[in-house]
């Protein structure tokens, strides 16, 4: 899809400085701009590239004053960074503005869906499924029986939504995510063999939740695994059965939360964090990457390490950790001297 400089200026409420009819069809970094691309200049340290870029259009701040000849058409706005972000959002909406049901797909006769549905080829929609308005479901998605999906939801290709899952409005589920698989529930019998405990609950995902590619969220044994509104989960995260994650908490990639742990709201959890089961993590907690959490955590704590310590205590302790070889040498030297005396 192509846009002219004048069309883009209209979207951004900016002014064209150059050829208003020049067209662009793609986005680029300013240092990598080519003919037919659009870029922006917001950081002064990249100013040098505006004189050499081959991008057809460059978004700049209104107060930008070139010192040399420019071959790119300028669009002047109040804030180039915000304007480019707005344009990215608009571009993404246009690019993903798909409507209609492709073939082949399977839709149960008992399923219901709202206006402007997009359902990609080879998708499966089970019995008693309800899908809201303006929702987009990309190819090869599986939606099990009794699933409810709200308005303005995007489910990318290859995702699997198991039965009885509830998904709110304005959620995004990226490719390969699996929501509602059985929790890891087994119990040993008298022979020492592990017997599966039926997982009869479901998963509830509230509004404005993002779930990254390859992330898995297990159904509850009884009741619900709950992801509350505004939660953002990165790629390749494991959320176990009966976990609850509070509002606006963010978790980075490759982290794992074991069963029945409750995490509060507004928490920030770094990558590769492991949290054992049946814990309570308070509100506004910060957990540094690669930490291991094996105890309950109070509100507003910041933790690091495995097992995790208070962040300040960890940093103080680290001073000693890294000096252990020197301390051992000193102790050995003192012991030798003492023995000789």
305: left (phi over 0), alpha (psi -120 to 50) or beta: left
Rg value, the chain, Cα: 27
Contact 42, 93 (CB under 8 A): no
Question: What would the 3-class secondary structure string for the chain be?
Answer: CCEEHHHHHHHHCCEEECCCCCEECEECCHHHCCCCEEEECCCHHHHHHHHCCCCCEEEEECCCCCCCCCCCEEEEECCHHHHHHHHHHHHHHHHCCCCEECCCCEECCCCEECCCCEECCCCEECCCCEECCCCEECCCCEECCCCEECCCCEECCCCEECCCCEECCCCEECCCCEEEECCCCEEECCCCCEEECCCCCEEEECCCCEECCCCEEECCCCCEEEECCCCEECCCCEECCCCEECCCCEECCCCEECCCCEECCCCEECCCCEECCCCEECCCCEECCCCEECCCECCCCEEEECCEEEHHHHHHHHHHHHCHHHHHHHHHHHHHHHHHC
Annotated catalytic, 241?
Answer: yes
The residue from 69, 174, 241, 278 that is catalytic is 241
Distance between alpha carbon 75 and the CA centroid of its chain, in Å?
A: 32
Q: How far apart are CA 198 and CA 203, in angstroms?
A: 15
| Residue where the block lists tokens 């990598």 | 32
Angle (nearest 5°) at CA 225 between 220 and 230: 165
**Which are the catalytic amino acids?**
241
């Amino acid at each position: 899809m192509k846009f002219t400089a004048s069309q883009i200026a209209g979207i951004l409420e900016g002014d064209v400085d150059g050829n208003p009819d020049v067209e662009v069809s793609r986005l680029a970094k300013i240092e990598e701009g080519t003919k037919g691309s659009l870029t922006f200049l917001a950081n002064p340290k990249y100013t040098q590239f505006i004189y050499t870029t081959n991008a057809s259009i460059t978004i700049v701040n209104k107060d930008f004053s070139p010192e040399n000849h420019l071959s790119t058409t300028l669009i002047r706005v109040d804030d180039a960074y915000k304007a480019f972000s707005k344009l990215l959002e608009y571009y993404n909406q246009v690019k993903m503005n798909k409507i209609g049901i492709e073939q082949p797909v399977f839709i149960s006769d008992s399923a219901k869906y709202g206006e402007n549905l997009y359902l990609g080829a080879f998708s499966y929609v089970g019995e008693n499924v309800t899908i809201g308005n303006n929702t987009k479901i990309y190819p090869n998605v599986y939606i099990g029986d009794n699933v409810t999906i709200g308005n303005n939801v995007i489910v990318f290709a290859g995702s699997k939504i198991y039965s009885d899952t509830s998904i709110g409005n304005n959620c995004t589920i990226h490719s390969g995510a699996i929501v509602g698989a059985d929790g890891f529930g087994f119990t040993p019998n008298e022979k020492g063999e592990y017997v599966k405990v039926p997982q009869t609950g479901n998963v509830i995902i509230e509004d404005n939740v993002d779930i990254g590619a390859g992330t898995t969220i297990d159904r509850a044994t009884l009741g619900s695994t709950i992801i509350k509104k505004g939660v953002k989960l990165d790629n390749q995260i494991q959320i176990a059965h009966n976990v609850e994650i509070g509002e606006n908490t963010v978790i980075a990639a490759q982290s794992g939360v074991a069963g029945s742990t409750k995490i509060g709201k507004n928490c920030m959890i770094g990558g590769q964090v492991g949290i054992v089961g049946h814990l309570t993590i308070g509100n506004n907690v910060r957990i540094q990457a690669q930490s291991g959490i094996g105890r309950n955590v109070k509100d507003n704590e910041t933790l690091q390490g495995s097992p995790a310590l208070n962040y300040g205590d960890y940093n103080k302790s680290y001073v000693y950790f890294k000096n252990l070889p020197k301390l051992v040498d000193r102790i050995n030297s003192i012991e030798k001297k003492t023995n000789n005396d």
